[in-house]
Structure 1
Amino acid sequence: MPPSKSDIYRPLNICSGAFGWDDVYGKPVCTLSIVHYLKEGHEASQYPELTCSLHSWMSILFWKKSQSFQLSEHVTTNEESDPEKVQLYLDSLPDKPFKKGGPLWEMISLPNYSNSKYGTKSVLVWRIHHSLADGLACLSLYNEFFDGNSSEKEMKFLKPSKITWNIWTCLQLIFVTPTETIFRALQSMGSNLLSHSSEMKESFDNEGIDKPSREMVRCQNLVAMDMAKLKGISRRTRTNITSLLSAGVAGAVRKILKERGANLGRDATAIYVLPSIFGHPGNLTNNMYARSDVSSGLESLAVVRPNFPPKNFETLILSCTFYCGTRRYGPSGRTAWRVSLHVSPPSLRACATPGFGVCPQNPDDPDYPQNPGKTTLYGFSKAKPRGFPCHVRIAVPMRMPLSEGKIDQRLTQITDEFRHLFNSPVLVGGVAFNRGLGLISGTFRKYFFLLNYGTLFHSNFSTFKENRYELCGNPVERVVPIAGLLQGSCFIGIINISYNGKMGVAITADKTIFSGPDELERVIDHVISEINEIGEINMMKNEGEMSLV
């Protein structure tokens, strides 16, 4: 039967719906579990409320207000202190089913877990389904949840570079074809898959490489390399950190394949996560722009009368669309609703920025919006606000030049590969592919993926900030995303984490390919040694050039 109109928040778009058809109440594969290692014990009294659950009608997914929502069910405490038991618990979170009929998120406090390696005394976990949030959404949430000690400035680095349009650029659109996208996708299917280790071949049941074990093995090293050292190698090689990290991963994969007797004459494929232009909003409040308001001086947003802005503040006129979603409490006990704002201040260039609009609950209040869909609000700011769309991410297949034996040449080819991607129709083709996948998932009411698609999944989780995040004055020492894995599609996922002066590596793999964390630790060591070797080779080249002068 169709859902009640009063209970409906809004329908999911095609791309978000693709994730929504995941088996969220059985064994979900699209779950993010973000682990935070805090310096001290933590205590917090306020949390954002996500009060909607998934509801389907005629193969269309809607966000429906959960009638049984209780915040206490989503904010829980685990008193366990044993390191081994805690790690097993954390590793199990991506596969843990969500409560049927409830919102797809939870927050878990582990106040008694100390980690001597990172010098932390407690842990706070956010567990969020991918239909609600992606990695960039989590970064945006950090800015709203944690203390404002310049942590919000990292979002401005995510602004995509400007594209210069001219007549030649427009003419290029005529020749845009899906040929390269299809070619890359076909190359990725069955691309030089990671084989089993020699110890596991004897016990394997001969059902084939495309039969996952349904068991995961995970390993993380969040202090694998100093960011200062990584940046130094990047400067010496005259390449960006993204290409350098990808070269390190490519070298590690090459060593693994060589140890297992694979054909190094074939290149591998990394399913790499890039900024996207498709529709999946990927944030907790849906259809939002990434926050950059605090870094640009926007102190607060509120519905106030025109004659009420504080002194020394510049008045802004905000035209916004209301969404009955996340709720907080603003000045004078009014309800602060999350809104998508388009800021058009006088004498300032029009731009877009998010914030919290405060909507009076009393319809007789003069500030109560006459039209809930579109209204005029007032806010105040000390400086010119800046905003930009929160470009969600898309996974595209990238060639890993394993056939190239020279490490510096592999780095050059990977750098050229990234440069080519942003000047080709591959990203547009990826958008079409994801939309098609979303339509298919909606038709069959199941999350679909391609079998044996790529050698590995690779992503970067970077905050681009100098200071640590803080929660009620408590420093967040380390952050690690513990992600799920599309077993059968890809057998290993590698995430690089850049935070608080350290570059870390987190790996999730199928247990049929890697028997335990010790094997994954060797993979992390290979990544770091490959990056160090790149720096040493380049240093030797520079010394040789100087000796000839």
Structure 2
Amino acid sequence: METLRFCFDSLYKVIKKLFIAIITITVIILYMPLVSFFYIVRQTVAVLGRFFLGLKIVPLFDTVLASEDVYCTKALTLSVTLVVNVPVIDKQGIEQMVQENLLEKQDNDGNLQLPELKCALRSFMGYLFWKPVDNFSLADHVFLYEDTRLPMPDWSDPDALRKLASQTLRYRCWKKGSPLWEIILLNNVPVSHLPNNTSNGSLLIWISTAISSRADGRLWHIQGFNAIIYDRKYDRVKESVVPTTVSACDGKMTWAKIQAMLGAPFRLAELCLPLINCPLKLAPIFEGDGNKILAFGTTTFPLTELKAIRMKYDVDLTSVLVTVISGGIRRFLTKYEQEGPNKLSIMCPMPMPGHPDKLSNYVGGGIFPIPFREPNNIKRLRKTATVCQSFRDPSILPQLI
């Protein structure tokens, strides 16, 4: 038995080293030359655009989801709707908050935090550049729904809100030479179409093309914009939650980043290999249509107890939550005399490397291979914390360009 186990361990180590070698060779031979070539091309175009047009190129990670023509219906458009618990929204009040909290918000050096909100897009040599609008008017970006020339919702239809969102995204095209965002206010929405415990209210709809939904830590996510606009306690954004211009994707290639990129395959393989034999879901416990309730919630959350556990064992809160979830699943299976897998994969949202903790809306996903059959809760917690520390290591996801 020991001999067989030794053979399997040796085979696993060989496969692990072979896997790492293949990834490393692929990165060095294929990925690095391609990245270097297009990085040089992009930087060359950026310099030419700055010299001939006087414009700033759109950062690389801002254009990931952009279509070829962002001024057509094929452009990827995002929409977030907020319910306002008043029958009629004060349009002038919204305009004032947008002006003060977004358009005029400055950093410590007196520079605008969000200059792109007053910029349109200009194409040059196949790349997009931010072009300031000559005559920017806030009234062209904050207006009432009836001024959109879209059909008014039929509130007798229980599916009215879904149709409203669909037609808003489908038919609202951006005007060339204008910024790619707008706020639409819809007043007097019947209570039957609003969440529970609300009276007749209104809707605030923020629409934005994906090009202006930044991914480099400098701008808020689209929901962050709405929180600032809608909630008056954010009239003056605290400095502690203002994104800085120091970005993980700062457009520079350094020797440290090259080293991190070359070492990333080794670190990724170290994390991914344990997932090979780790199932992503459990087999069904009950026969039937699967509509049985498998968990229940409580009105109170033991946050104090969880924090005490975190402090006692010197681990992060994410690891505690993942361990609690795995323990609950384990007890549930034991209750119904089901034998769980050796390892269970649990995916948990985590802050992205390189972003301040205050920007909690920037998240990635970490897959935790939990030693499911380990009866000792503390051992499961420590193993989970070890994986979590690896995920939070910036060298795992190299900060490239």
**Would you tell me which structure has more helix in proportion to its own residues?**
2
**RCO higher in structure (CA 8 A, sep ≥6):** 1
Structure number with greater Rg is 2
Structure richer in strand, relative to its length: 1
